[in-house]
Amino acid sequence: MSSGTLYDKVWDAHRVTTLPNGQDQLFIGLHLVHEVTSPQAFAALRELGKPVAYPQRTIATMDHIIPTVSQSRPFPDSQAEAMAQALEKNTADFGIQFLNSPQSNQGIVHVVGPEMGLTQPGMTIACGDSHTSTHGALGSLAFGIGSTEVHHVLQTQTLAANRLKVKRIVISGELGRGVYPKDVILRIIQQLGVAAGLGYAYEYAGSVVDAMGIEGRLTLCNMSIEGGARIGYVNPDEVTLHYLKGRPFSPTGEAWDRAVLYWQTIRSDANATYDATVDVSGGEIEPMVTWGITPAQSVGVTQRLPMIGELPDTQQSVAKDAYGYMNFKEGTPILGTKIDVAFMGSCTNSRLSDLEIAASVLRHQRVHPSVRAMVVPGSYWVKAQAEAAGLHEVFLAAGAEWREPGCSMCLAMNPDRLVGNEVCASTSNRNFMGRQGSPTGRTLLMSPAMVAAAAVAGRVVDCREYVS
Amino acid sequence: MMIQGRAVPIEGSDIDTDRMVPARFLKELTFERMGDYLFYDVRFEPNGGQKAHPLNHPQFQGASIMVVGANFGCGSSREHAAQAVKRAGFKAVVGISFSEIFSGNCQSIGVPVMTASPESIQALSRFIHDHPSASLVIDLQSMTLTYESVTTTITMPASRRDAFLSQSWDGLALLESNHAKTQALADRLPYGPIQIRSTS
């Protein structure tokens, strides 16, 4: 069993009690709510006639269902409009702050939380969304939960939870030019597999993580769940403090000083023990591209797609499913794979630094005539910052669309979706069958630089030829 | 606690919750119809015609135990997937391994999720294929699954097993009963509630 890790310390600081069945009851310091997984929970509260126990530890925004061309109301999709109205009514009736406008910074919940300083080290955070693991980048324990658990948190501010084991993933060396946090996490998932994290929290460490900005760490932690780990985190350091200082919900004055003292105590001890440790060589990571239907099915951009017979037995049947679905051939290079759509956005890669990288590739370039390219900022703040820096002009001049913030084509609960068996170069997190809205659509996950370069070339290319 | 019924094998690893309930169905405000959407895009053609999927096979109609592979229910936390399994009439799921969030969602709504060795699951799947009308018996007391003369060991976390055996899988009342301890913990936390601020 692990001891002395951030996971252990934050868990212990939030343990209300141990329940008769052996699970711990954990206090949730911050509950983030969105429109898709909360209406069922609020309905259950209403049925029981119960209030939200700690409305001031609860905050809502809307991201999954909102259109990104225009967000004027009512939404053309009556189901989306009904969801929006339900969240408006629920937050109003139960006294919950709702970030529902450009001014209040509506956006993807996992972009908004960190950038507004809501997400802080040493917190427990819950949200009805599996990518809640994102918030661990600031040193919090963040739980993706289902709607019944959302109801439990609304009504009691607690969760019944089993303690996970802790696996330390040490990424040593330094990343090469044109290699980004997205490539690091895709490489980790390729190396460990999509089920290696079952039963574990992932602690990311090592020189690559130390040198990474918070936005990169958010990308890293975001896709922990794609490796099976419900929780991923990075120990807070100077980079974390620098990032949090001065954000709207960050503490100020004496409260800041007290918070920093707390944050320093929750770092994993130098002599902490882990249930497992994995080493990843940062210098060997190439720009990565997925070719299949799970995020582990990826290759370095200079590599060929695997031969099914050469894969471990346990991977062969899923590889067969993947080749059947993707209609790709074993042994062909990933370079040159034609794409139809380029999507830059999602809770994985829609922050300012992601857009800066994409813009650096697209500057003075044109999107290939056969490609539909769209850039979707993660929040209204990201949008405003990008526009202040003139990035939108780069995207528009290149022939890409510049949209309003939302989850967009990551999961196709809104009008942004693939058509037929289109191939999409995507900065999102899941290449599951049908994920981007067409039951036969195909997703290639990659970094913002790789997607931008693919948009220009109309096919998968090595972004290192496009970045200076 | 005993669960008895016929089973259906859903083969393959890493079956994600997007495949179990495609995202477009999540735009419904309630879980009511989720049972109709289980595995929708791999069961039905866009025109509504049926594809070859175990849930469409006549011999597996009425099955109440789902037998699955490794890392079942991975991906999205959507409880819609667990709800779909329950509302389509399944009382238990047995597989090689499960995503944490999916198995937690199943616990929250009273559907036990159990694991068995890859060899046991393979043998069980073969048996069901050959004997679709045979009945399985799952016993959470002895943690066994029995079919014909075969008895297989099944596992689940002790806390989860306790929750089912004591009929306390809906832990809400218990969580709520600790409200005084909860408040005491909130009072001693090193950080407070959200400061409501102007964000314009």
Nearest-Cα distance to chain B for A394, in Å, is 27
| Structure confidence at residue B120 (pLDDT) | 98
Q: Are the Cβ atoms of A39 and B30 closer than 8 angstroms?
A: yes
| Structure confidence at residue A162 (pLDDT) | 93
Paired strand residues for A161: A24
**Cα B200 to Cα B194: distance, rounded to the nearest angstrom:** 17
CB of A151 within 8 Å of any CB in chain B? yes
CB of A205 within 8 Å of any CB in chain B? no
Q: Are the Cβ atoms of A432 and B189 closer than 8 angstroms?
A: no
Q: What are phi and psi of B154, to 5 degrees?
A: -120, 160
DSSP character string of A85-103: HHHHHHHHHHT-EEE-STT
Q: Are the Cβ atoms of A27 and B182 closer than 8 angstroms?
A: yes
- Top residue of B191, B197, B198, B200 to mutate, by most chain A CBs within 10 Å, is B191
HSE-CB for A442 with a 13 A CA cutoff: 19
pLDDT > 70 in chain B, percent: 98
Nearest-Cα distance to chain B for A320, in Å, is 10
Residue B137 is given by DSSP the state E
Q: Residue A224 region, left (φ>0) first, then alpha (ψ -120 to 50), else beta?
A: alpha
> Does residue B25 have a pLDDT over 90?
yes
Mean of pLDDT values over A267-281:
98
Mean of pLDDT values over B133-145:
97
**Low-confidence winner among A62-71, B79-88, B148-157, B165-174 (lowest mean pLDDT):** B165-174
Question: Which residue in chain B is spatially nearest to A149 when comparing CA positions?
Answer: B108
Q: What pLDDT, in 10s, does the model give residues B53-76?
A: 999 999 999 999 999 999 999 999
**Cα A432 to Cα A318: distance, rounded to the nearest angstrom:** 12
CB B13 within 8 A of CB A318: yes
Nearest-Cα distance to chain A for B194, in Å, is 6
Mean of pLDDT values over A57-82:
97
CB of B71 within 8 Å of any CB in chain A? yes
| Structure confidence at residue B167 (pLDDT) | 86
H helices of A331-373, in order, are 352-362
Which H or E run contains B2? Answer: strand B2-5
CB of A199 within 8 Å of any CB in chain B? yes
| Structure confidence at residue B197 (pLDDT) | 59
| Residue carrying structure tokens 């062969």 | A316
Q: Is A388 exposed, middle or buried (0-12, 13-18, 19+ CB in 10 A)?
A: exposed
Which residues in chain A touch residue B157, judged by CB atoms under 8 angstroms apart?
162
Q: What does DSSP say about strands A15-18 and A141-144: parallel, antiparallel, or unpaired? A: unpaired
Q: Are the Cβ atoms of B18 and A20 closer than 8 angstroms?
A: no
H helices of A348-390, in order, are 352-362, 380-388
| Structure confidence at residue B169 (pLDDT) | 84
- Identity (one letter) of the amino acid at B117? S
| Residue carrying structure tokens 């990343």 | A175
**Cα A134 to Cα A224: distance, rounded to the nearest angstrom:** 8
Mean of pLDDT values over A288-316:
97
Mean of pLDDT values over A119-136:
98
| Structure confidence at residue A370 (pLDDT) | 98
**Cα A6 to Cα A235: distance, rounded to the nearest angstrom:** 7
pLDDT band per the 50, 70, 90 thresholds, residue B199: very low
Q: Which of A126, A143, A105 is nearest to A32 (CA)?
A: A126
| Structure confidence at residue B5 (pLDDT) | 98
| Structure confidence at residue B200 (pLDDT) | 42
H helices of B58-189, in order, are 80-87, 100-108, 118-130, 158-165, 172-177, 179-188
Q: Chain-centre distance of CA A66, in angstroms?
A: 18
| Structure confidence at residue B170 (pLDDT) | 85
Which residues in chain B touch residue A30, judged by CB atoms under 8 angstroms apart?
194
How high does pLDDT run on average in chain A? 97
CB of A468 within 8 Å of any CB in chain B? no
pLDDT > 90 in chain A, percent: 99
Q: Are the Cβ atoms of B75 and A83 closer than 8 angstroms?
A: no
